[in-house]
Amino acid sequence: MKTMKPDGVVDDLIKFALIALLVVVPIRLYVAQPFVVQGASMEPTFHGGEYLIVDQMSYRFNEPERGDVVIMRYPKDESIFFIKRIIGLPGETVELSGERVSIGHGESAEPFTLDESFLEPDRLQNQYGVYTLGSDEYFVMGDNRKESSDSRSWGALKRREIVGRAYLRLLPTTRIGVAPGEHSYEK
């Protein structure tokens, strides 16, 4: 029977810890990270307590698109993270009129109204305002417009404040899915 020396166990634990750090830390910092939804701003698409995996890689190669659900740093306190849907893209003008959201781009393009029929009518809100976005700014809103602190209250979101997109919903197990909440707006 082979016995292990106590020194061997300690060495193995140290090696395991170092390998884990070399693998886990870069993945957590640059590839994906967990996120737990808090609050009601994205209901019914996302509920408080849902556990998501955030894709941090895609936006290193592609720009965020209208309809993407993103995890972002709150512009007024970057230690706080929010989950919101991208409505307006850089260089666009977002016009809120009642429950309608219209998007314009430059003077030559005809504005179009977003089809947001996927949103629940009782979560919409009469809203008014015109927001012109800079070259690195996005307009984000929650799907539960009555309960959302978003670009309507604190302005445009800078590109650098976007952490990544909601890639995977793991909990609750009854709602597991890839690209949860994804919506493609048609013109």
Catalytic residue among 2, 5, 15, 41: 41
The span from the first CA to the last CA of the chain, in angstroms, equals: 73
Structure-token pair, residue 15: 């090696």
3-state secondary structure of 56: coil
3-state secondary structure of 110: coil
Question: Residues 170, 54: contact at Cβ < 8 Å?
Answer: no
- The reply to whether 108 belongs to the active site is no
State phi, psi for 163 to the nearest 5 degrees: -85, -45
- The reply to whether 84 belongs to the active site is yes
**Helices H / strands E in the chain, number of each:** 3, 12
Catalytic residue among 2, 5, 79, 84: 84
Catalytic residues: 41, 84
